[in-house]
């Protein structure tokens, strides 16, 4: 199993070795794509997580027990279809290819499953159609 997720840490647990435990105790392979971890503040981390279904399930249970909120990455970066003018500005900045131009129609397509959550598309989008939703 390989998934991209966002972890939200409360101000009480920002300094706990939670990520270390995911690797050591649950045999998970983690790639930190983005993190905003500050002392005694609510923090978040965007991860690509890989491991067996069983190890991932146990790791997610552990995170919940620790008070970490887990959400799939596709819930964080969204495109407002009504605002999008298909200008293509976002496609030039997207490092994963999650945003690309469909040549036949010259429309911008967004593949949320390829999105790393880097948020580079948000300021690059002139009509502000790319949005971040961190709950």
Domains detected in the chain = 2-74 (3.30.70.260), 78-132 (3.30.70.20)
Question: Under a CB-based contact definition with an 8 Å cutoff, are residues 122 and 132 in contact?
Answer: yes
Percent of the chain beyond pLDDT 90? Answer: 65
Asked if 7 contacts 43 with a C-beta cutoff of 8 angstroms, the reply is: no
Distance of CA 81 to the CA centre of its chain: 20
Residue 24 and residue 92 in contact, taking contact as beta carbons nearer than 8 Å: no
Enumerate the β-bridge partners of residue 35: 45
Q: Which of 112, 34, 32 is nearest to 74 (CA)?
A: 112
Closest CA to 47 of 15, 18, 13, 24: 18
Tens of pLDDT, residues 98-124: 999 999 999 999 988 788 788 889 999
Query: Phi, psi at residue 31, to the nearest 5°?
Result: -125, 110
Max CA-CA distance within the chain? Answer: 51
Place of tokens 């887990």: 70
* Residue 135 pLDDT greater than 60, yes or no: no
Q: Are 120 and 89 in contact (CB under 8 A)?
A: no
pTM: 0.64
Please give the pLDDT value at position 134.
Answer: 59
Structure tokens at 101: 């131009």
């Amino acid at each position: 199993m390989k998934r991209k997720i966002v972890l939200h840490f409360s101000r009480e647990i920002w300094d706990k070795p939670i990520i270390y435990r995911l690797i050591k105790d649950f045999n998970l392979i983690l790639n930190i794509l983005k993190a905003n971890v500050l002392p005694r503040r609510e923090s978040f981390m965007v991860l690509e997580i890989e491991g067996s279904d069983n190890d991932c399930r146990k790791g997610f249970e552990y995170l919940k027990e620790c008070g970490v909120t887990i959400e799939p990455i596709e819930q964080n970066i969204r495109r407002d279809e009504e605002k999008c003018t298909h200008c293509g500005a976002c496609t030039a900045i997207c490092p994963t290819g999650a945003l690309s131009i469909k040549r036949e129609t010259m429309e911008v397509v967004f593949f949320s499953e390829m999105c790393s959550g880097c948020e580079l598309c948000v300021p690059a989008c002139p009509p502000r159609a790319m949005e971040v939703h961190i709950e």
